[in-house]
Amino acid sequence: MASGTFATAINCMDGRTQLVVIDFMKNRYGVDYVDMITEPGPIKALSEKKNIATLESVKLRVGISVNGHGSKAIAIVCHHDCAGNPVDKETQLVQLDEAVQTVASWGFAVEFVKLWVDENWQANVIE
């Protein structure tokens, strides 16, 4: 097991979302580190479940974070102005719910948090 405490974020590759999500997870969960699993618009792939290679890759990386680093929480992130998933916020929030269901189905015993990073690059919890 790695030294220090960890959380995980399945986040867009967009650099504008990285630090805000890391800061949010560190503050919310009191962790030292955030394992960042990035894809362009990951909620699209996780909700549609069509690209098996991407699903398996994300699942493998979540497993390393949870089992190897002891991560106890996973943020799944979507954001304003996403080039990898250029749809409106309402569509992204539906995809976000479906993405959480997909990741939860993998059986990792962790807490999930859904995040929307807005046009001001602030992380907002979606209930």
Place of tokens 């994300």: 58
Identify the CA nearest to 9 among candidates 106, 53, 91, 23: 23
Tens digit of each residue's pLDDT (9 = 90 or more) over 91-126:
999 999 999 999 999 999 999 999 999 999 999 999
Domain map (residue ranges) of the chain? 6-125
- Note the pTM of the prediction, 2 decimals: 0.96
Does residue 30 register a pLDDT over 80? Answer: yes
Whole-number Å distance between alpha carbons of 49 and 57: 12
Identify the CA nearest to 108 among candidates 6, 21, 13, 20: 6
Query: Rounded to the nearest 10 degrees, what angle do helices 52-63 and 89-104 cross at?
Result: 60
Provide Rg for the chain, Cα atoms.
13
Region 68-94 average pLDDT? 97
Q: Are 19 and 27 in contact (CB under 8 A)?
A: no
What's the CATH fold of domain 6-125?
Beta-carbonic Anhydrase; Chain A (3.40.1050)
